[in-house]
Structure 1
Amino acid sequence: MKKGTEKVTTVDQYMATVPDAVLPAVEKLRQAIRSAAPKAEEVISYQIPAYKYNGMLVGFGVAQNHIGFYVMSKSILESFTKDIQKYSIATGTIRFPMDEPIPVALVKKIVKARIDENTALKASKLKK
């Protein structure tokens, strides 16, 4: 984010803080998420864009040297190990290099897997 910005309350406000050099990639990531989860609510959580659908789904943020894609699920990351091995990974996060295209198809697959995971989790809680 650009220095000196106020706290953001909407994703559009967050996007306005993204440096011009990475804005197209970040917008592509945002559109991939929205395409895969059209019913998800777009929110700001911990000062980053996040998506809610039957609970927190995914989020993203711009760091100094990468674009973070916050999957918010260790099990989903583990199920995509082969697909994400070329990226730097942290707990629940895939770090996309700023100088490479966003892997839109992979993002959509992960978002859909998270939707399935959240839906199953919600269903199991309702049965109790």
Structure 2
Amino acid sequence: MKNAAPDIDTYIAEFPEDIQAMLQEVRATIHKAAPEATEAIKYAIPTFVLKGNLVHFAAFKNHIGFYPAPTGIKAFEKELSVYKQGKGSVQFPLDEPMPLALITRIVEYRVKQNTEKKKK
């Protein structure tokens, strides 16, 4: 396994230009939905943090992996049903447009979740 990138810019720069554009689009969408979140590299992939891990994303050979935790997947189960999924992940194929509006709603949901969790 290669060493983890020190930051998201470096992580994105390691991919071909077309994939970089998709990753930047996802990154910008997350920033817009969670402007107070900070960026980090956790588990060797880009992560947004706000009162705990918010979401992660990563590029793979055939998809962009998006990791909003199992609760983020469950809350958008119907809309995400058209994509391949894992317990806390979803795969957005590289040959389809990124579902940015859906990503926005999921991130906003996760912000609310993390904020309410920290209040308790």
**TM-score normalised by the shorter chain: which range applies?**
over 0.9
Which position in structure 2 is the counterpart of 1:65?
A: 62
User: Paired residue for 1:28?
Assistant: 25
Taking only aligned residues, the RMSD between alpha carbons, in angstroms, comes to 1.4
- Sequence identity, in percent? 36
Deviation of 1:6 (Å): 4.7
Q: 1:100 aligned to 88, 91, 96, which one?
A: 96
What is the CA-CA distance between 1:21 and the residue it aligns to? Answer: 3.0
Q: Which residue of 1 aligns with 2:45?
A: 48
The structural deviation recorded for 1:80 is: 0.5
Aligned length: 120
Structure of greater Rg: 1
User: Deviating runs (4+, > 4 A) in structure 1?
Assistant: none
TM-score normalised over the length of structure 2: 0.94
TM-score normalized with structure 1 length:
0.88
Return the letter of the residue paired with 1:104.
L
Equivalent AA in structure 2 for residue 27 of structure 1? Q
CA–CA distance in 2 between the matches of 1:13 and 1:23? 11
**What is the deviation of 1:75?**
2.2
8 Å Cα contact 2:65-2:89 kept in structure 1 = yes
Structure 1 residue ranges without an equivalent (≥5): none
